[in-house]
Structure 1
């Protein structure tokens, strides 16, 4: 996330649902993402209406919606531990007592992070790591009751994901070893964070889950399998992994017991970018044991997976569980950078029962710079029965939705200009998530680090 890249266009929108008319079946709020053979592309008569410019210059929303700023980088943490860190990234919301909500928020600070996560005794992995997480406790009206460090001394905490037992798995998007960039320990791990009392989880790397440029995770709530994406910045690109825990669904701390890390092999498909048609699917997906999960000598994506090799993809980012399947995002692929083909964003579904991988969404170019859709990143299910997708591209930045009918609409637009009047720029969105009751959308602006709570007629 927040990696520099060249873009073929300023703005992308959902282009098609494919000639095969594929549908996605979910339980709960999302029963069907697409219907028919083509997605509607008009934003004028879908979603919640046009965006209204914010007179305060922070966040543009549809009429009837409002926001509260929960936290901004540089302000003082309520705990007194130091300033609110910068680079607000992945995030999730968890239920608390008496209608309260706990937020855990990543800070993707590198060695030169603007505002590092303050080090706290018992919560710091590597004193030279500038990244980590903060935890906020909110009351039923989204007023901040507390804000504190949840883990420190980690590096480049990009995304992650929630567990069924209501903890957060924060992912380091780096492979830096001890001695690099001043670090005193190896980095590239996943850490578990308890949103209520972070000292119950501490700062312990889950080494069996692999050391690589982690992006996001999703947990199968029935089997306990953890799926992981890798956002590698250069060839060979990242892999899609699954972790088979020794103690599946064992609760807080159980992932420390270890397990097996495997990488996905799609027979005959070395690069997912070569697949362009939505609805295309592959049966008999294989999972190959990772030879050296700690990558002591060679990064995992370079390792020898034997005959048949392994399947790579550029910019593997968002990952979530829906219904009976795991979904993951490839934000873009550029052939000039080594991918087999070009695309502006894909969403894939893997059904573990059928061992089937399906390309369910493809994003494509559009000339209208007002429309959202370039480089989809963090994604989550929305209570209205669709998706919310964070945008990480060039030009204006949006949170945009995809309805159950396949319509794309703008939900929010960043209004904080971090460029100049002549050359405006806007920080990407990240960490979109909803409160347990579905009445509030929480989302981060990466730069300047800002966390918003958005309320309004979500169930309309």
Structure 2
């Protein structure tokens, strides 16, 4: 019962067939626009400036571009803009914390800053922007440096950002002087308050994104492993939950999800498929001293894997996580162009709520979901990371997929155009502005318009 993008686009008026998703994630859709059946904002209008195509009535402002100088004077704006979150500041200000997924050979690394640098040889990290109530940039500075491949992460209930390293490189590899593969906590308003301390108890693996249960303080983590066996879905049980900055440094227990009888989530294709006996298995060696976690011995029942585990988001009483795609030719149990899964902790229930593909038109929105966030309309806003045209697109309770933005920056050639992925979609605390990154060339946009 998987759906091609042509099918899920039908309700936007683009094509003539349709599909309604299950109501498994209905508590996530609480906005007024969702209640009246939000169907999108209309067709995208080509941008005369060649940067970002938006629906009529919307406009954008470029907040930051790679290579420009940071307002702090610390150096150039780093490249590879990735995960991001927005936090409320004083007097109506907004703090944006932005990841830079730089590897050892990245184009423009995050400048090293005393007290904020973990490994001087790491080129990844985060920068922080401060905006006034009118969306003007007041400041831009390094928030953490010396990390590696900072892909996604997620916000905490105490208004800090957890930035995730998507690598397992050890000291001595690629010139690094310290082990990598950790999560770091970043305070966008005062980076020196959090410093550059790895949260080692949360595991050392190819991290992607996190979501925090605001009731229990449990942190859910996705792993985007590039080779078989693919990544796992984890939960971290902190010894001092919900204690603000410093609480995650107190340690805790890392566990991996086991779905009995399901070794690979990509083998599940039926929307609404549900599993009520999800188990959480202690990770034998969370630091992966000898063996990557996904290769460790989890007992005779094994553990549950999934290819391209990416975005992770808390909504209502559940955590949602994304598999961007699965390819049987690469070792997965099935093929799809994107899944969204929902886990209900109070019921120990896992449900497949969305499947895309594999039949698809890569020039239309709806392929390879990556970063996700809650939209003011009450639905989900999704960054696309696939082939062809790249979009930010919305998903509604009624099964609608609608385009919100299209990257117009051609990084290929006129004959063979190519567009960088979107990442880090997030909204201002008042819901009036969508912030989103273009990965390459690294660009941070603020988009305003009639969001509800």
Structure-2 residue corresponding to 1:276: 269
Stretch of structure 1 that moved more, 247-256 or 368-377: 368-377
Distance across 2 between alignment mates of 1:125 and 1:156? 13
Alpha-carbon shift at residue 385 of structure 1 (Å) = 1.2
Query: Which of 121, 124, 128 is residue 131 of structure 1 equivalent to?
Result: 124
Query: Which of 402, 426, 431 is residue 409 of structure 1 equivalent to?
Result: 402
Residues 210, 13 of structure 1: alpha-carbon distance in 2 compared, 3 angstrom cutoff: farther
Alpha-carbon shift at residue 403 of structure 1 (Å) = 2.0
Structure-1 residue corresponding to 2:50: 57
Aligned length: 442
1:292 partnered with 2:293 = no
RMSD of Structure 2 on Structure 1 (CA): 2.1
Alpha-carbon shift at residue 369 of structure 1 (Å) = 4.5
Decide whether the 8 Å contact of 1:350 with 1:356 is kept in 2.
yes
3-state DSSP class of the match of 1:26? helix
Distance across 2 between alignment mates of 1:238 and 1:402? 25
Distance across 2 between alignment mates of 1:67 and 1:340? 41
Structure-2 residue corresponding to 1:90: 83
3-state DSSP class of the match of 2:26? coil
1:380 partnered with 2:373 = yes
3-state DSSP class of the match of 1:364? coil
Structure-1 residue corresponding to 2:183: 190
Deviations 1:377-424 (A, max 9, x none): 000010111111000011110000012322111000000000001001
Gapped regions of structure 2 (runs ≥ 5): 10-16
Structure-1 residue corresponding to 2:13: none
TM-score by length of 1: 0.93
TM-score by length of 2: 0.94
Structure-2 residue corresponding to 1:303: 296
Structure-1 residue corresponding to 2:242: 249
Distance across 2 between alignment mates of 1:386 and 1:20? 13
Alpha-carbon shift at residue 366 of structure 1 (Å) = 4.8
Deviations 1:187-225 (A, max 9, x none): 000000001000000000000000000000000000000
Decide whether the 8 Å contact of 2:362 with 2:387 is kept in 1.
no
Alpha-carbon shift at residue 249 of structure 1 (Å) = 0.5
Distance across 2 between alignment mates of 1:30 and 1:359? 23
1:363 partnered with 2:364 = no
Deviations 1:139-188 (A, max 9, x none): 11110000000000000000000000000000000000000000000000
Residues 257, 71 of structure 1: alpha-carbon distance in 2 compared, 3 angstrom cutoff: same
Stretch of structure 1 that moved more, 380-389 or 359-368: 359-368
Distance across 2 between alignment mates of 1:76 and 1:97? 25
Decide whether the 8 Å contact of 1:13 with 1:408 is kept in 2.
no
3-state DSSP class of the match of 1:69? strand
Query: Which of 312, 318, 321 is residue 311 of structure 2 equivalent to?
Result: 318
Gapped regions of structure 1 (runs ≥ 5): 1-9
Decide whether the 8 Å contact of 1:377 with 1:392 is kept in 2.
yes
Distance across 1 between alignment mates of 2:32 and 2:47? 33
Residues 12, 264 of structure 1: alpha-carbon distance in 2 compared, 3 angstrom cutoff: farther
